[in-house]
Copies of this chain bind each other. A is one copy, B any other.
Amino acid sequence: MTFGYVGIRVKSLEESIRFYTEVLGMKLTGRTKVEQTKGEVASLVSEDGGFPLELNYYQEGSPHAVKYTVGEGLDHLAFVVEDIDEAVAKAKKFGSREILEVRTEKSRWVYVEDPNGIWIELERTLSGDC
């Protein structure tokens, strides 16, 4: 068994695709309408063969289009960036809110919000303690 991808739900597919490609440098690999769920799905990866992030959108009338609250299930998505300040500036220019900065002796990481209110962690290396 292998961990295949993570699927988040989004409020607007266009705006979320724009955030994950323009701010976080991902590439759109596919986009599919799913009749059964009255939904549309977009797949993104950071690099060829990389771990996919799936954006799930449900149109009005879909049984899955319930009220959107971020909730506690997803804590955060983490992205490794070359330059944290540059990445934060890019996110802010997009309209994202900066949530929290954490500094330890060894490292530093910053959380910003995606267009759905999901926390995105930006850090230079995966420190393993956040």
Contacts and interface: CB of A to CB of B under 8 A. Distances in A.
A63 to B, nearest CB: 10
Nearest to A64: B75
A23 B24 CA distance: 32
Given A70-B73, A71-B72, A73-B73, A79 B47 contact: no
A72 B69 contact: yes
Contacts of A74: 6-9, 71, 73-74
A46 interface: yes
Give the number of copies in the complex: 2
15 contacts: A1-B26, A1-B87, A2-B50, A2-B79, A3-B78, A3-B79, A4-B126, A7-B76, A9-B74, A34-B130, A52-B126, A56-B75, A70-B73, A71-B71, A73-B73
Residue from A54, A71, A104 whose CB has the most chain B CB atoms within 10 Å: A71
Contacts of A123: 4
Interface in A31-56: 32, 34, 36, 41, 43, 45-47, 50-54, 56
A43 B10 CA distance: 26
B130 A9 contact: no
A13 interface: no
